Amino acid sequence: MSPEAPITGVRTAAYRVPTDRPEGDGTLAWDATVLVTCEIEAGGQTGFGYVYADSATALFASDVLAGVLQGRDGLATAARWREMVDAVRNHGRQGVAAMAISLCDAALHDLRGKYLGASLSTLLGRRREAVPVYGSGGFTTYAPSEMDAQIEGWVDAGFHAVKIKVTSDLAAEAPRIARARRAAGDGAALMIDANGACSRKQALKMADFAAASGVVWFEEPVSSDDVEGLRLVRDQAPAGVELAAGEYGYDAFHFRRLLEAGAVDVLQADATRCCGITGLLQADALAWAATVPLSIHCAPALHLQAALCLQRLIHMEWFHDHVRIEDMLMEAPPVARNGVAIPEDDRPGLGLALKQADAEPFRIWPRGPA
Ligand SMILES: [Mg+2]
For residue 133, report the distance from its CA to the centre of ligand 1, in Å: 15
The domain covering 7-119+354-365 belongs, at the CATH homologous superfamily level, to Enolase-like, N-terminal domain (3.30.390.10)
For residue 26, report the distance from its CA to the centre of ligand 1, in Å: 10
For residue 220, report the distance from its CA to the centre of ligand 1, in Å: 6
Tell me how far apart the alpha carbons of residues 327 and 330 are, in angstroms, rounded to a whole number: 6
Mean pLDDT in the chain? 97
For residue 195, report the distance from its CA to the centre of ligand 1, in Å: 5
- Residues 81 and 101 sit within 8 Å (Cβ to Cβ): yes
Determine the pLDDT at residue 345: 75
Fold observed for domain 122-347: TIM Barrel (3.20.20)
Determine the pLDDT at residue 368: 81
For residue 8, report the distance from its CA to the centre of ligand 1, in Å: 37
Determine the pLDDT at residue 1: 62
For residue 268, report the distance from its CA to the centre of ligand 1, in Å: 9
Q: Where in the chain is the domain with CATH 3.30.390.10?
A: 7-119+354-365
pLDDT confidence band for 11 (50 / 70 / 90): very high
What's the pLDDT tens digit per position in 217-275?
A: 999 999 999 999 999 999 999 999 999 999 999 999 999 999 999 999 999 999 999 99
- Residues 183 and 213 sit within 8 Å (Cβ to Cβ): no
For residue 83, report the distance from its CA to the centre of ligand 1, in Å: 30
Task: Return all residues near 263 (Cβ < 8 A) that are at least 6 apart.
Answer: 227, 228, 230, 231, 234, 243, 245, 257
For residue 290, report the distance from its CA to the centre of ligand 1, in Å: 21
For residue 78, report the distance from its CA to the centre of ligand 1, in Å: 29
Distances in Å between the Cα of 165 and the Cα atoms of 58, 95, 192 are 29, 23, 6
Output the pTM of the full model: 0.98
Average pLDDT over residues 87-103: 97
Determine the pLDDT at residue 2: 73
For residue 234, report the distance from its CA to the centre of ligand 1, in Å: 16
Length of the chain: 370
Determine the pLDDT at residue 344: 77
For residue 47, report the distance from its CA to the centre of ligand 1, in Å: 29
For residue 274, report the distance from its CA to the centre of ligand 1, in Å: 15
For residue 277, report the distance from its CA to the centre of ligand 1, in Å: 19
Percent of the chain with pLDDT over 90: 97
Determine the pLDDT at residue 319: 98
Tell me how far apart the alpha carbons of residues 147 and 150 are, in angstroms, rounded to a whole number: 5
**Which residue type occupies 332?**
A
* pLDDT higher than threshold 70 for residue 305: yes
* pLDDT higher than threshold 70 for residue 32: yes
**Secondary structure of the chain as H, E, C letters:** CCCCCEEEEEEEEEEEEEEEEEEECCCCEEEEEEEEEEEEEECCEEEEEEEECCHHHHHHHHHHHHHHHCCCECCCHHHHHHHHHHHCHHHCHHHHHHHHHHHHHHHHHHHHHHHHCCEHHHHHCCCCCCEEEEEEECCCCCCHHHHHHHHHHHHHCCCCEEEEECCCCHHHHHHHHHHHHHHHCCCCEEEEECCCECCHHHHHHHHHHHHHCCEEEEECCECCCCHHHHHHHHHHCCCCCEEEECCCCCCHHHHHHHHHCCCCCEEEECCCCCCHHHHHHHHHHHHHHHCCCEEECCCHHHHHHHHCCCCCEEEEEEEHHHHHHHHHHEECCCEEECCEEECCCCCCECCCEECHHHHHHHEEECCCCC
Q: Which residue has the higher pLDDT, 346 or 356?
A: 356
Average pLDDT over residues 106-112: 98
For residue 7, report the distance from its CA to the centre of ligand 1, in Å: 36
What's the pLDDT tens digit per position in 115-130?
A: 999 999 999 999 999 9
For residue 113, report the distance from its CA to the centre of ligand 1, in Å: 30
Q: Are strands 330-331 and 313-319 parallel, antiparallel or unpaired?
A: unpaired
Tell me how far apart the alpha carbons of residues 4 and 77 are, in angstroms, rounded to a whole number: 11
For residue 223, report the distance from its CA to the centre of ligand 1, in Å: 11
For residue 247, report the distance from its CA to the centre of ligand 1, in Å: 6
